[in-house]
Amino acid sequence: MSRSRWFAPRGALALVAIVVLVVACGPDHRAVLSKAQDRLSTARHGWIDFQITSASSGGAVTGVRLSGTYRLRRQHRLPTVDLTYVNAVAGAETRAVRVRITGDSVFTGPPAQLRELTPTEAASLRLPSSGHAPLLDLEFARWMTDPRSADRPHGETIASGGVDGAALLRNIVPLIVQISGDHELPAPSRAALNAVQRRVIASRMDVITRADGSVDRLSALVQFSPGHLQALRAVLGAYAGAELAVGLRFRHR
């Protein structure tokens, strides 16, 4: 799968770059991020497109993507979802699995070849959590360093800054496992995360929020020293690359 079908961080950053920012005097920059994170984590329904991609110097792209609609129910009730999970690893065929749940029926399979699961099969499927758990446990307010915020038209706010590579990786490794189903990817140690942080050579992060404080879209890009990718492989395994990008778009539905 080409990178353009996943995430185009340079295009997103270029779009942000042409916006004339007037730094707001009033808002607490960190509070803008915290509110957006809280609104996302408590959203019980919506449309989401979340992706993590890594690119090597040779151009190979690996990553995961979760996209579609969801409505989380009370505990012990199945959610209503129509989600597609994509997993792309260099040297292997890109896998896409669609999960569709309507009422008590669960359908899954390749996007164009869904089949209904038996109750036993459905019980073993990785399903979005019920109760109060979020669809994705994103702590993006912790990722940004030196945040600054500015107002945009139509009540939007943009928060921009650098990226704490260790905080980002600590959060996204479990998400890669959740989306890909690759449970062989271990939780990274603090020493491994610190080693990766020392290899960061450039980073940029932008979060755009709506007038109500909810997140509209997010982009984060981290570039690592290409000569020291072994430290990154110790954390991301097959998903390591010299350039790591995270993208999110969200709509309440």
Digitized pLDDT (tens) for each residue of the chain, 253 residues in all: 545 445 444 444 443 433 334 343 445 788 999 999 999 999 989 999 999 999 976 677 899 999 999 998 766 677 889 999 999 987 788 999 999 998 789 999 999 899 999 988 877 766 665 555 678 899 999 999 999 999 999 899 999 999 999 999 999 999 999 999 888 888 999 999 999 999 999 999 999 999 999 999 999 999 999 877 888 999 999 999 999 999 999 998 7
Radius of gyration of the chain (CA): 18
- Selection from 196, 190, 206 nearest residue 236 by Cα: 196
DSSP strand E in the chain: where?
45-55, 61-71, 80-88, 95-102, 105-109, 115-116, 144-151, 157-163, 200-209, 215-224, 243-251
Q: Which residues contact 171 (CB under 8 A, 6 or more apart)?
A: 137, 138, 139, 140, 142, 143
Q: Which residues contact 129 (CB under 8 A, 6 or more apart)?
A: 72, 135
pLDDT digits (tens, 9 = 90+) for 121-154: 877 766 665 555 678 899 999 999 999 999 999 8
The confidence score (pLDDT) of residue 211 equals 94
The 10 Å CB-count burial string (b at 16+, else e) for 95-109 is ebbbbbbeeeebebe
The CB-side HSE value for 191 (13 A sphere, CA atoms) comes to: 0
pTM of the full structure: 0.84
φ/ψ of 116, rounded to 5, equals -80, 135
163 φψ region: left (φ > 0), alpha (ψ -120 to 50), beta (else): beta
The confidence score (pLDDT) of residue 119 equals 84
φ/ψ of 106, rounded to 5, equals -120, 125
pLDDT digits (tens, 9 = 90+) for 22-38: 343 445 788 999 999 99
| β-pairing verdict for 144-151 and 115-116 | unpaired
